Amino acid sequence: MDDHTILATEENFGAVSVCPGGIVHINLAHVTLKFLPSDFEKFCDLIAKAKLRSVRPMRTEGKPKLQVVPSEASSEDNTEES
């Protein structure tokens, strides 16, 4: 893999490289995917579409609400006093 050109890396996750023959290699933990350049572009489009449709936590408008909840110890104390 010394002759590969590194296109991108993410520490502790994986890397994308291209070999002299033009094949794009995606290396993740225990998986390696190899694509022809045109198929790599299709794969990137597929991942981009999936990313847009993925479920992400939605930010609510306005300020977050704070709610005070009594701890179990304080609710037990209140029960004993009654």
More confident call, 10 vs 73: 10
pLDDT in tens, 34-59: 999 999 999 999 999 998 888 776 66
Q: Which domain holds residue 1?
A: 1-54
Beta bridge mates, 33 = 26
Domain for residue 48, yes or no? yes
Residue with tokens 């009654």: 82
What gap in Å lies between CA 24 and CA 5, rounded to an integer?
9
Output the pTM of the full model: 0.61
Domain for residue 49, yes or no? yes
What gap in Å lies between CA 2 and CA 65, rounded to an integer?
54
Task: Give whole-number Cα distances, 58 to 9, 48, 51, 55, 61, in Å.
Answer: 28, 19, 15, 9, 9
Domain for residue 18, yes or no? yes
Inter-residue contact 18 to 7 (CB < 8 Å): yes
pLDDT in tens, 8-35: 999 999 999 999 999 999 999 899 999 9
More confident call, 70 vs 1: 70
